[in-house]
Amino acid sequence: MKTDPGWAPISGETPIDDVSGLLIPEIGTRRQLNQAEAENITLAATKYLVGRLTEADAPFTFDWMFELHKEMFGRVWAWAGKPRTCNLNLGVLAYQVEPAVLGLVQDVAYWGKGPSSLIEDAALLHYRAVKIHPFLNGNGRWARMLANVWLRRHGAGPILWPEPHIGEVSPIRSEYIAAIQADRLDYAPLVKLHERFASV
């Protein structure tokens, strides 16, 4: 695969060290990769963020959480939707991925009924999903989609993230990375970002 300066890692992202699972051999730059992934993600967004969403559509089971990642990236990466088997610079150890996702699924089953607001619950879901980092790549976009699907399941509008800016070096990316890396006991900055970009 050919590379250019645009393929250089962006601060705070999971480096793309292995492109052997890339399903589109014509891709040779980060711009081309971003475009292909965005087109794939749009299909998932249309399915989950447009129109009425039922529990059957998005059951938030263990298998469905992995399937969501596959729906978002399966046309671009062969490993989409599969738990990673190697350790990364972010996330839990590889052998902890599946137990951590299962724990998240079990906890989410009780959310949406307590004292926390829907936005707070969505931010916590987003935060925990990123902290697990179950996949080789696409974890942040998967976590944001996961939180948005959860909001839609509960009758709320999605968070309208400025995706192009989150994926590049910019003020919102720096703020976002700082919020996602905050200590679990203080994820208020991420809640504030969710509130800022919440749809009406």
165 found inside a domain: yes
The count of residues in the chain is: 200
- 3 pLDDT band (50/70/90 cuts)? very low
Rounded CA gap, 113 and 159, in Å?
20
Q: Which tens digit of pLDDT belongs to each residue from 15-74?
A: 666 688 999 999 988 889 989 999 999 999 999 999 889 999 999 999 999 999 999 999
133 found inside a domain: yes
Structural domains of the chain, count: 1
Pairwise pLDDT comparison (48 vs 7), residue with the higher score: 48
Q: Which domain holds residue 33?
A: 18-196
Tell me the average pLDDT across 69-81: 98
Backbone region of residue 61 per phi and psi (left: phi > 0; alpha: psi in -120 to 50; beta: other values): beta
- Look at residue 138 in the predicted model and tell me its pLDDT: 95
8 found inside a domain: no
Pairwise pLDDT comparison (136 vs 112), residue with the higher score: 136
- 14 pLDDT band (50/70/90 cuts)? low
2 found inside a domain: no
- 152 pLDDT band (50/70/90 cuts)? very high
Q: Which tens digit of pLDDT belongs to each residue from 129-147?
A: 999 999 999 999 999 999 9
83 found inside a domain: yes
11 found inside a domain: no
58 found inside a domain: yes
Rounded CA gap, 30 and 20, in Å?
15
CB 125 within 8 A of CB 103: no
In the predicted structure, residue 93 carries a pLDDT above the cut 90: yes
CATH code (residue 161)? 1.10.3290.10
Rounded CA gap, 49 and 52, in Å?
8
CB 172 within 8 A of CB 97: no
In degrees and rounded to multiples of 5, residue 22 shows phi and psi of -70, 125
